[in-house]
Structure formats: structure tokens, C-alpha cells
Structure 1
Amino acid sequence: MEDPFEEHKRLEKARKRVEDIKGFYKHLAAYVLVNAFLLIMHAINLDPGEKFWSWGSFITPLSWGIGLLAHWLTVYSRSIFFSRDWEERKIQEYMDREKNQSNKWE
């Protein structure tokens, strides 16, 4: 039988993972809806002779898309940069180091 503390820890980790995924999909939905609205409004309000396919039409989707990509990387690519697993290993390493240092004086 698994230790109740470990089971609770795994449950909390799973809940956090689900919340992260849910947050990404909310971000994606907002991105699609807002940018579709902005592009439609821009197309409707074009001045005569103004081109739709210009830098100004797509600056918001492009810049926001970079942020959305970063969000995706943090949710689905755990091994990139400083993942939660890395954080947990580092915390454990520092705790072990501190414990070993305090044991030297006993």
C-alpha cells in the first residue's frame, strides 16, 4: 500500500498538470477568438486602396502567438529550460546538502 503522503503528493501534481493544460486551452481559445475578431474588424474597416495583407494587420496575432508558443512549451515540453522536475531535484539537492552540513557538527 502506498504511503498516504505520497499518494496525496501525486494527486496534487496531477491536479496541477490538469490545471496547466486547461489554462493553455483557455489561452488558445482567447487567442483564436480575439484575433479572429480583430482581423475581421480590420478587414471591414479598410480604407479604399488599403491592403489587408500588411504588417499592421498581423502584428497582434504574431506577437501574441509568440507568447502562446511559450505557454505551450511550458505546458507540454517539461524538459525545456527549468521544468518542475528540475525544480524538485534542485530543492531536494539543497535540502540534502543542508542536512549533511548540519550533521557535521553533531
Structure 2
Amino acid sequence: MDNFYNKSEEERLLYRKAKKKVKELRGFYYHLTCYLVIMPLIIFINLTFSPQFLWFFFSLIVWGLGLGFHAMEVFGYNPFLGRGWEERKMRELMEKERQERTRYE
């Protein structure tokens, strides 16, 4: 197996990014699995002990929304800020910092 420290800086950066992405995916899949296992239990409990009031919909919707936002974050879909917003904002802030530095020189 190749030694991580013998790789170029670009290879190490790619490795770190891939490792971070895999960690995010694993977290999402864990979250999804918990949702798919626990929600049927919650539905069963609700329908068994208090079928006159279907409160499981609250859990289903709120947890489902959280899961949806988690998926959007992990898979890079952000309809609110658009694609590449973070990079554009970072460039904008870096340029602003450069202008501030040159103003005082």
C-alpha cells in the first residue's frame, strides 16, 4: 500500500476531501436507517395505544424534514443559495480583505 505522506499535496488534498465526503455519507445513511427503523415503531405504538389521535404524523413530518435537509447538505443540493455560493462568497471576502490591506499600506 502506498504511503500517504509520499503523495503529492494535490493527492493528499483529494484524499482528505474524499474521506470527509465518505464520513458525511455514512452519517446520512445512519440517519436514514434510524428513520426507517424507528418510524414504523412509532406508528405501531401510536396505532396500538392511542389510535383515536394520530400523533405519529408530527414525528414523521418533522424528522422527515430534518432528514431531507441532511440529504440536501450531503448531496450538495442547495436551492436557497445556489450552486457554488460558498466559493463565490469566499472569493468575495478574500478580495474585500485584500482591498482593506492595500488601503492601509
TM-score by length of 2: 0.69
1:37 aligned partner, one-letter code:
L
Structure 1 gap ranges (5+): none
2:42 aligned partner, one-letter code:
L
Q: Residue 8 of structure 1 corresponds to which residue in structure 2?
A: 12
Post-superposition shift, 1:73?
A: 0.9
1:72 aligned partner, one-letter code:
A
2:46 aligned partner, one-letter code:
H
> Which residue, out of 42, 46, 60, partners 1:42?
46
Computed over aligned residues only, the root mean square deviation of the Cα atoms, in angstroms, reads 2.8
Q: Residue 86 of structure 2 corresponds to which residue in structure 1?
A: 87
Q: 1:33 to 1:73 in 2, by over 3 A?
A: same
Q: Residue 58 of structure 1 corresponds to which residue in structure 2?
A: 57
| Cα distance in 2, alignment partners of residues 101 and 29 from structure 1 | 49
| Cα distance in 2, alignment partners of residues 77 and 102 from structure 1 | 33
Question: What number of residue pairs does the alignment pair up?
Answer: 99
| Cα distance in 2, alignment partners of residues 90 and 18 from structure 1 | 25
Secondary structure of 1:41's counterpart equals helix
Higher RCO (C-alpha under 8 Å, 6+ residues apart)? 1
| Cα distance in 2, alignment partners of residues 16 and 101 from structure 1 | 33
Post-superposition shift, 1:95?
A: 3.3
Post-superposition shift, 1:9?
A: 1.1
* % identical aligned pairs: 30
TM-score by length of 1: 0.69
Post-superposition shift, 1:11?
A: 1.0
CA deviation profile, 1:43-87 (whole Å, cap 9, x unmatched) = 2223xxx44xx5423111111101111111111134544589543
| Cα distance in 2, alignment partners of residues 5 and 78 from structure 1 | 28
